[in-house]
Structures are given as C-alpha cells and as structure tokens.
Amino acid sequence: MSASTEPAPATVRPDAGDRTGRRGRDLRPFTTAATLLVVAICGGVAVALTIGDDGYWAQGGLPVPDDVVRIGNVLARVATVAAMAVAAGSLLVAGLVAAPQASGTVDVQGYRALRRGALAALLGGVTGITAGWLSVADMSGTGLSDLAGAGPFGWLGAAATLDEPMGWTLAGAGLLLVAAGAGYALSWKGAAALGVFAAATALFPAAVHPAATGMAHDWSGDGSMLRALAGVVFLGVCAALTAYRIHGGSLAGAAGRRGGALLAGAGSVYLVAEIVFQVVVVWNGPWAGSAYATTVAVSAVLLALLVAGTAVLVRVLSSPRPDAAGRLLPVLAVAGAAVAALGVAGTRLVPPRFLVRPDTALETLIGWNIDRPFSALTMLVEWRWNIVFGTGALLLAGLYALGVRRLAARGVRWPVGRTWAWMLGCAALLFATSSGLGFYSPAMFSVHMISHMTLNMLTPILLSLGGAVTLALRVLRPAGRGNPPGPREWLLAAVHSRAARVLTHPGCAAVLFVGSFYVLYFTSLFDGALRFHWTHQLMNLHFVLVGYLFFWPLIGVDSAPHRLPHLGRLAVLLATMPFHAFFGIAVMSSSTVLGRNFYAQVGLPWLDLAADQSVGGGIAWATGELPMLLVMVTLVVQWSRDDSREAARKDRQAARDDDAELKAYNEMLAKLRQGG
C-alpha cells in the first residue's frame, strides 16, 4: 500500500470526553458497574436510616412489617428513583442536548443515550411495580407469602385502595410505556417527549407522599411533586451528561449551554420546592432525637454543596473550554443520588410537625381552617397562595413582558391589545386559584364553580387573544445548523405535532370542552377528586388546557393547526352554547347533592349543601353565557376586519394590474352571452 493511501492514525478529539484514564484504559465498560454501585450504596444508606425506626407505623396505627419487607421496599424505591432519573435524563439529553441529523433523527451519541434511557425505563418499570407490590405488605402487615399466595395480580385490589402502593405501581407502569416508546423512537422530538413523560412519572409517588397530609398539605403536596419532578431531571441529566462524555459526546458550544440550562433550571426548582416542603413538615416540631431531622440536616449540607457545584458547572459549560465539566459532573451526580436516597428514607420517617399536635378536621380535608362565611370581602382578603398556578401566572406574565420588551428593543411594535389580553388572563388565573376563590373553593361548591368557570372560560379566552406563540416565535432565535434544537424548535414541534392537530380539531376540542363538565360532575369522579389536593390541581390544569384548546382555533391570534372559516367557527360556537346552559340547569334542578360525602365531612356550620349547589348551578349558567357572548362579539369583529383586509388587498391588486381580474370576468360573461 502506498503512503498516499495509507489510513491516518486515529486521533482523539480534545472535547471528546474523559473516555480513557491516565494509562489509556477505556472507561466505558465501567460506567454501568459504577452506576449500580452508587445505587447500591444509596439503597444501603436509606435502609440503615429506616430499619430501626418504627415511628411511621406507630403514628399511623399500622402493623409493623417484617424486616425483609421493609428492606425490600426501601431498596425497590431507591432503584426505581435511580432508574427513573437515568431514563429521563438520557432521553432528554438525546432529544435536547445531542445535535440531531438533518433529517431530525438522533445522531450516534443521541442513539446511545436513547438506548440507555430505554433500558433504564425498563428496569425502573419492573422495580416500580415491585415497590408497589412490597408497599402493600409494608402498609398492611401482610407477609410476602400471603401476597404470593394471592396470585400475580391479587395484590392490585389492595393497591387500588392504598395511596402509596398505587403511586409506585403507576410510576412503574408509566416507565414501561416509556421503554416501549423508546424502542421505536428515533427522532429528537420523540426522545424529548419520552424524556418529559419519564420525568413526569415521578409525580405519581410524590403526589401521595405520606408527609403531604394534614395542615398546609396543599403547600407540602405541591412542594413534594415539584421537587420530585425537578430532582429526577437534575439527577438524570447529571448522570446522562457524564455517560454522554464518556462515550465520546462533546459538550462544547450549544450542547454545553443547553445541558447547563437544564441543570440550572431543574436545580433551582428543586431547591425552592425542597425548602417549601421541609418548612411545612418540620414547622414547630421537636428536632432533638428525630431521625427525620438528622436526614434533613445532612440533606441541607449536600444541597449547599450541590448549589455551589452546579453554579461552577453551569459556568464551565458556558465557557469556550468545557473540559473541566467531565470531572465535576460525576461528583454532582453522586451527591444528587445521596439526596435522593435521603428523600426515599424520609418516606418512612415521621417529620417533627406530626409529633406536636393532631390536625383539625378541616386541616386534614383541605389543609387549612375556615372561620367565617364567604363574601365579597373575604374573597378579596382571604388569600391562599397556590404554589403551582399562582407562581405560574406570575411567570407567564413576566415572560410575556420580557418578550414585548425585546421586540421593542428591536424597533418592532407589538399590539397593546394583545398585551392587555394576556396580562388580564394571567390575572384571572392568579385570582381564581390564589385569592379567596382558591381559599373557599375546596369547601364550597358554589365558590368552586366560580373558580371553575373563570379557569375554563374567561382565562383561556384572554390568553388565546394574547398571541403568546406568535410573540415567542418572533423573539426566539433559531438554534442554527449543526446545533441541538432550541426553545424555538421545541415550540414549533409542539404546535405542529400530531397531538396538537388531533386535540385542536374542532370536533375533538368541542367534545373535550363540553363533555368534561358532564363526565366530571355527574359521575363518581367529582366525589373522589374532592379528597386530594393533587386532584384539585389536576382539575385546574384540565379546565385551563381544555378551554385553551377550544378557544385557540376559534378566536386565537396564533396560527392553529386547524383554522375554520369564520362561518364554521360561529357554527361551532353556537353548537356548544346550549350545553353550558343545560349543565347549569341540570345542576340547579338536581335533587342529589354533588360531593355530598366530602362536603358533609367539611361541615361548614353556616352552609346548606342543597342551596349552595343551586347557587353553583346558577353561576355555571350565568357565567357560561357571558364569556360565550364575548367570544361571539370577538369573532364577529375578527370576521369584519378580515373582510376589510381582503377588500383592501383586492383594491391594491386592482390598482396594480388595472383591474385585470374584473375585466377578465366581464369578458367571460360577454363570450357566454355571444355563445348563447
């Protein structure tokens, strides 16, 4: 072979990651072993903290299970959280950090991350269902032999009636779905969507956290869910970026900045949510001799180190030479795994607050006490901050204002009416969830209906008129060729996705918008949804999303996947209006009190349940018609403006071509007369 055809020696890029040790040893075969070792150590720590403390079972009046059940349950939970984090982080890195090919298919490094995520999700699904199975024995005192004797699915009946077993079982089932989807997904959009879904499975066990009960359980419940979601993303991205570099991925440029942004965002949310949760569950409780207080103190030290390390890491990833990130990432991953293990151990330790005093009946049911009847004054002064929707409303308003400001800095004028509509929509969202409406709605059907109609009708109408998608597309810049997709690409992918096309179809959106009233309130769903804070939050989210999906194609400023002509939009609106009136009348005339069992347990002394429901039905009737009238007026105004713009366009065209279209039409008529 000649010198000109001899292949060049292989070289290692300087940004290819720490794939080799000082003596040239390939580190890739040891990543799986190191991960399993860290998980095993974390599981051992969690077992050591909980095995000698029986306070959880004594506090709840439950039989103390065997040590085998307790140890197996803790280990299964630690393994599930670890697999959940690796799955979510790997899929997010495959979809959002690794630059895809021109066709949208993930590249080699993204494919490796996708396969790691699929394997982790499969393992997490098995361990999650195992944790649910063991949780049944853990909470009921049933031995493993009894569970095994009930058959492979006999324990599901007990799990369906116990919150914790069902939470872990659903998390495991969700991870199995992620594993199945990851086996077919090859695009960055599919990988990112599966990563979000894998992270969301952490919400199932977090929503039924045993400490998120009693006084202020609305705050501790939101804190538990937010810290679980953000913690899984942070830990998973740390681990996934470590494996990404070891297997040759580069974090230089946009990839490093994207990974740093994910870590900074998830870490910030986790820190705030963790503080809120711990303040609620340890408030005014005794610290001395408390195993839970010890875990909180150790977690606080680790969190301080994580905050400092994350700040350094984000700065390094944004620098021209992100090589040092390869040494810092595994350290943060191990520290995050330790915090996660302490969190799992905390589910079997009694927080100090629960040792102080018993909760009142109202604190147990809704989280706080109500001392006076609802009125216009109490609606304005009795505020109860909703961590998810109150904070979300402020963030939405702030981001919108920032977008308008950036456009103004470029010399682009954004319509003032759109800004007012969006800000009023955010104010309606804030008021419906955090003012006196949010304070009284869990305990009174009439106030709940005011909040419902505000979230389902008024808020979506105003938000759809704000044109937030158009504003974002004008502000956000494209990621650029060769870079991983950025927020602009994420938004476009969501708007043009198959799910968006299906959900915004007028028929589907109308069925969801109208049918959800009847399905929720005239079935057993409503009575069950009243009992938990997370179901209240889910109802709020459902109301806003379904309303937005319905009004976006009708009057929204943004371009929707389905855009009917104005006459078709008016027909859809007129077809849905009677159903709201029928719903209000049905509630008013119903002889059955909706949610009677729950409202009777709340037992507000000044409240007559039947009369309150009749008021709620009248509110649904009246407040349902007024927003629809606003939509109809808006639709007519938009129709008129579009016709005016079309007429002006035709006039300009006629001026340019000397009215050629009209002349051609007249000539055609003349020829037809001659031929006739």
Q: Could you tell me the domains of the chain?
A: 56-360 (1.20.1630), 378-657 (no CATH)
Output the pLDDT for position 6: 39
Give residue 479's pLDDT. Answer: 84
pLDDT band at residue 9, thresholds of 50, 70 and 90?
Answer: very low
Quote the tokens at residue 239: 């681990």
Check pLDDT > 60 for residue 20.
no
Non-local CB neighbours of 577 within 8 Å, separated by 6+ positions: 625, 628
More confidently predicted of 529 and 481: 529
> Tell me, what's the pLDDT at 87?
95
Q: Exposure pattern of 149-164 as b/e (b: 16+ CB <10 Å)?
A: eeeeeebbebbeebbb
- Looking at residue 339, its pLDDT comes to 92
Mean pLDDT highest for which of 112-126, 571-585, 616-630? 112-126
What pLDDT sits at residue 5? Answer: 40
**More confident call, 331 vs 7:** 331
pLDDT at 15: 39
> Tell me, what's the pLDDT at 638?
66
Name the band, by pLDDT with cuts 50, 70 and 90, for residue 12: very low
Which residue has better confidence, 227 or 139?
Answer: 227
pLDDT tens digits for range 492-502: 998 888 888 89
Query: Looking at residue 630, what is its pLDDT?
Result: 75
Measured between alpha carbons, how far is 477 from 652 in angstroms, rounded to an integer?
33
List of residues 6+ apart from 243 with CB closer than 8 A: 31, 90, 113, 116
Confidence at 642, pLDDT banded by 50, 70, 90: low
The pLDDT, as a whole number, for residue 291 is 84
pLDDT band at 7 (very low <50, low <70, confident <90, very high): very low
Mean pLDDT of 284-299: 83
Q: Is the pLDDT of residue 21 over 60?
A: no
The pLDDT value recorded for residue 659 is 63
Higher pLDDT, 676 or 546: 546
Query: Which of the residue ranges 426-430, 596-600, 611-615 has the most confident prediction, judged by mean pLDDT?
Result: 426-430
- What region, left, alpha or beta, does residue 516 occupy, with left being phi > 0 and alpha being psi -120 to 50 degrees? alpha
Residue pLDDT, tens place only, 339-350: 999 999 988 888
DSSP 234-265: HHHHHHHHHHHHHTT---STHHHHHHHHHHHH
585 contacts: CB under 8 Å, gap ≥ 6: 617, 621
Q: What average pLDDT does the chain have?
A: 85
Tokens of 4: 């000109």
Statement: residue 265 has pLDDT above 70: yes
Is residue 594's pLDDT more than 50? yes
Instruction: Kindly tell me if the per-residue pLDDT of 44 is higher than 60.
Output: yes
Looking at the chain, the whole-number percentage of residues with pLDDT higher than 90 is 40
Query: Is residue 509 very low, low, confident or very high in pLDDT (cuts 50, 70, 90)?
Result: confident
Q: Per residue in 433-447, pLDDT tens? A: 999 999 999 999 999
pLDDT, residue 660, reads 64
Among 237, 235, 260, residue whose Cα is nearest residue 339: 235
Q: How confident is the model at residue 8 (pLDDT cuts 50, 70, 90)?
A: very low
Q: Which residues contact 225 (CB under 8 A, 6 or more apart)?
A: 203, 206, 207, 534
CA distance 80 to 408: 48
pLDDT at 472 over 90: yes
- pLDDT of 575 > 60? The answer is yes
Residue 654: the pLDDT is 55
Region 76-99: mean pLDDT is: 94
pLDDT at 303 over 60: yes
CB-based contact 279:353 (threshold 8 Å):
no
Instruction: List Cα–Cα distances, 110 to 191, 248, 250, 262, 333, in angstroms.
Output: 9, 11, 11, 16, 20
Give the Cα-Cα-Cα angle 429, 271, 382 (nearest 5 degrees).
35
Mean pLDDT of 368-384: 91
Q: How is 27-44 classified by DSSP, letter by letter? A: -GGGHHHHHHHHHHHHHH
> Quick one: what percent of the chain has pLDDT higher than 70?
88
What is residue 94's predicted lDDT score, i.e. its pLDDT?
92
pTM tops 0.75: yes
pLDDT band at 152 (very low <50, low <70, confident <90, very high): low
Cα separation values, 217 from 150, 208, 277, 560, 604, Å: 35, 11, 9, 39, 20
Higher pLDDT, 588 or 663: 588
pLDDT tens-digit series, residues 55-86 = 788 877 788 888 888 899 999 999 999 999 99
